[in-house]
């Protein structure tokens, strides 16, 4: 299932338990320079909030960050994103959809990710190949080996050092994406259109079963390759999730004495 030949040595698997000792941000944050971290999770996992927070923390610690979001992130990728979002193209085949995500990714790797790693910047990616396995693969129905074959062509050896999965059950996730926890007003009115994600219409159409499969796929991917995944319980509040994220990263990247 994994498309990635690895470019960094395997590190010990990590849980999201907080360490006994206080975190020492500068030491492990500096070790993130030149690394490639991917944030993943079902819609409504709250990963984007944590993503922004980590970006700020790293920059505050003097680590240069290259932030990328999928689909998109380049001029070509944004055009592909517009095609993926175009509701008049709802007859698009699943294979075509998968290859458009990969095409956007191929450009992103070439134009932004590889140069950033070479410059020893930290690459922070909001979604990458794992999303395609989860959405077009496990939930959509495309065989993993087909996705893997296309991923090999699209990204070659640009594999993440760590994929962080923000794990959330579909009930909590649906509550968040429907706006109860995301901008809904106390008067019960729906959130303004600008607070909704670009893909929210599609998410609504997909239903709980689809989201369950997405979640399960992420957990399966983590189980299959624990050294390159960190699973965080994202059903909790943002502060607890943040603490788990920091603890997990410190355990993974703190220099060994």
Distances 74 to 66, 68, 69, 118, 209 between C-alpha atoms, Å: 12, 9, 9, 18, 32
Q: Which is nearer to ligand TYD, 134 or 251 (CB)?
A: 134
Q: How far is the CB of 98 from ligand TYD (least distance, A)?
A: 7
Count the site residues for ligand TYD by CB under 6 A.
15
Q: Which is nearer to ligand TYD, 31 or 220 (CB)?
A: 220
Q: How far is CA 171 from the centre of its chain?
A: 20
Q: Pick the binder of ligand TYD from 198, 207, 208, 209 (CB under 6 A).
A: 198
Q: Which is nearer to ligand TYD, 127 or 253 (CB)?
A: 127
Q: How far is the CB of 136 from ligand TYD (least distance, A)?
A: 6
Q: How far is the CB of 197 from ligand TYD (least distance, A)?
A: 3
28 touches ligand TYD (CB under 6 A): no
Q: What DSSP designation does 20 have?
A: S
Complete DSSP assignment for 71-123: S-SSHHHHHHHHHHH-GGGTT--HHHHHHHHHHHHHHHIIIIIHHHHHTTPEE
Residue whose C-alpha is closest to residue 177's, from 230, 38, 168, 128: 168
CA distance 146 to 123: 27
Q: Pick the binder of ligand TYD from 16, 58, 112, 126 (CB under 6 A).
A: 126
Q: Which two tokens stand for residue 36?
A: 């490639």
135 touches ligand TYD (CB under 6 A): yes
Q: Dihedral of the CA atoms 194, 198, 200, 206 (nearest 10)?
A: 170
Contacts (CB under 6 A) with ligand TYD, residues 47-106? 48, 70-71, 101
Q: Which is nearer to ligand TYD, 30 or 199 (CB)?
A: 199
176 touches ligand TYD (CB under 6 A): no
Q: Would you tell me which residues interact with ligand TYD (CB under 6 A)?
A: 43, 48, 70-71, 101, 126-127, 131-132, 135-136, 197-199, 203
């Amino acid at each position: 299932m994994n498309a990635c030949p690895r470019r960094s040595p395997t590190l010990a698997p990590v849980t999201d338990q907080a360490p006994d000792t206080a975190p020492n941000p500068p030491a492990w944050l500096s070790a993130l320079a030149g690394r490639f971290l991917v944030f993943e999770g079902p819609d409504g996992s709250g990963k984007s909030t944590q993503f922004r927070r980590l970006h700020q923390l790293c920059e505050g610690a003097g680590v240069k960050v290259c932030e990328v979001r999928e689909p998109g992130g380049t001029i070509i990728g944004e055009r592909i994103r517009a095609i993926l979002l175009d509701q008049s193209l709802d007859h698009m085949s699943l294979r075509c959809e998968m290859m458009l995500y990969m095409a956007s990714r191929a450009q992103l790797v070439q134009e932004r990710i590889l140069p950033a790693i070479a410059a020893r910047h930290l690459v922070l990616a909001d979604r990458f190949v794992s999303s395609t396995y989860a959405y077009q693969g496990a939930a959509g129905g495309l065989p993993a080996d087909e996705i893997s074959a296309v991923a090999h062509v699209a990204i070659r050896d640009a594999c993440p050092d760590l994929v962080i999965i923000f794990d959330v059950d579909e009930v909590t996730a649906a509550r968040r994406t429907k706006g109860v926890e995301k901008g809904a007003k106390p008067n019960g009115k729906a959130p303004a259109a600008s607070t909704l994600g670009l893909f929210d219409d599609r998410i609504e159409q997909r239903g709980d079963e689809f989201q369950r499969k997405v979640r399960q796929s992420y957990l399966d991917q983590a189980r299959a390759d624990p050294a390159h995944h960190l699973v965080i319980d994202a059903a909790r509040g943002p502060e607890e999730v943040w603490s788990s994220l920091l603890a997990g990263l410190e355990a993974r990247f703190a220099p060994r004495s």
